[in-house]
Amino acid sequence: MNAATTTAPLLKVENLVKQFPIKGGLLGRVVDHVHAVDGVSFELAAGETLGVVGESGCGKSTTGRCILRLIEPTSGQVWFEGRSVTGADKTALRALARDMQIIFQDPYASLNPRMTVGAIVGEALTIHKLTKTAHEYEDRIVHLLETVGLSADHLRRFPHEFSGGQRQRIGIARALAVSPKLIVCDEAVSALDVSIQAQVINLLEDLREQFKLSYVFIAHDLSVVEHISHRVAVMYLGRIVEIAPAKLLYTDPKHPYTEALLSAVPIPDPSVKRKRIPLQGDVPSPIRPPPGCHFHTRCPIAQKGLCDVEKPQLKQTAEGHLVACHLRG
């Protein structure tokens, strides 16, 4: 079942699959595949934030990059405002790139160290010919820097002169330069200290209001996405195993994997006790994911002969709450 929103979607992802070939032998033939994304479907409404969470290697970042076609999906469909992203040619993709932007985890690696902050933020203005005069160009960059909490003084400085949080603000200003409607935040705050994380998340929330943005907010930690997300999707080995309005997912998780992830999230109120559900073992290799339910090798309630054989489909358990589990769906 598709994880649908109630309003017309801004973004629609249908049965997205990405397999990375593994080459080997003397002739460099394809000997196997990494099954990074295995049939992901969801919709995102305008102004909505969807948190996407899972351990590393679950395919969340690959999903984000396939949506923007920074990585070519193996199969599946992506639509943005009814326009096919997966079917777009170079020209159409360039137009779509103005509407869909990405912010990366490591702002230092994604910012050219030899370019000034002004040049980094202004690059897209030049590519898309968004300003007419040098004066307008500089004004626009200063305005973007101020919007993200930096200033005109930073214009001629280089990325290494900034802290991690400030560098992420530069990345956000760069993404905002083309006035996008959707931003994929790919582990955008994961590398930052907790207090800086909160500042950047607050900034992203303010910008969402101010510019009517939508986010696909990717993180490996449920606590990070809790406050910014309207809905949250939990991924495991390339599949969405649960997707629900954020409140529902945090108060009434259905999937055993979500329960385990949630049990590790600290609760600020010390009087509230949460039973820790330890996850056994590591995430299995995405080269040969376990058959049936991918989670059956680590699931505390797995049923032999069912979970290791049949793939569970996403089923609705409450309004907007979908879970892929034979015993909880």
Query: Cβ distance 235 to 63 under 8 Å?
Result: yes
299 part of the interface to ligand SF4, by CB under 6 A = yes
Using CA of residue 292, residue 293, residue 294, residue 297, what is the dihedral sign? negative
Label the pairing between strands 182-186 and 100-103: parallel
297 in Cβ contact with 284 (< 8 Å): yes
For ligand SF4, the binding residue among 301, 309, 313, 318 (CB under 6 A) is 301
Q: Does 220 bind ligand SF4 (CB under 6 A)?
A: no
- Region from 63-71, 83-91, 168-176, 295-303 binding ligand SF4, contact rule CB under 6 A: 295-303
- Kindly tell me which residue out of 295, 317, 321, 322 binds ligand SF4, with binding defined by CB under 6 A: 295
- Please compute, for residue 123, the number of CA atoms within 13 A of its CA located in the half-sphere on the CB side: 13
**Using CB under 6 A, which of 66, 144, 219, 307 touches ligand SF4?**
307
Residue of 52, 121, 177, 293 that binds ligand SF4 (CB under 6 A): 293
In the Cβ-directed half-sphere of 95, how many Cα atoms lie within 13 Å? 9
Count the residues of the shown chain that bind ligand SF4, applying the rule CB under 6 A. Answer: 15
Closest approach of ligand SF4 to the CB of residue 299, in Å: 3
Name the residue among 102, 137, 104 with its Cα closest to residue 122: 137
Interaction pattern, residues 310-329, with ligand SF4; x per rule: CB under 6 A: --x------------xxxx-
Residues 262 and 54: beta-carbon distance below 8 Å = no
State how far the Cα of 61 lies from the Cα of 198, in Å rounded to an integer: 21
Binding mask 253-272 vs ligand SF4 (x if CB under 6 A, - otherwise)? --xx----------------
Q: How far is the CB of 262 from ligand SF4 (least distance, A)?
A: 14
Residues at the contact surface with ligand SF4, assessed by CB under 6 A: 255-256, 293, 295-296, 299, 301-303, 307, 312, 325-328
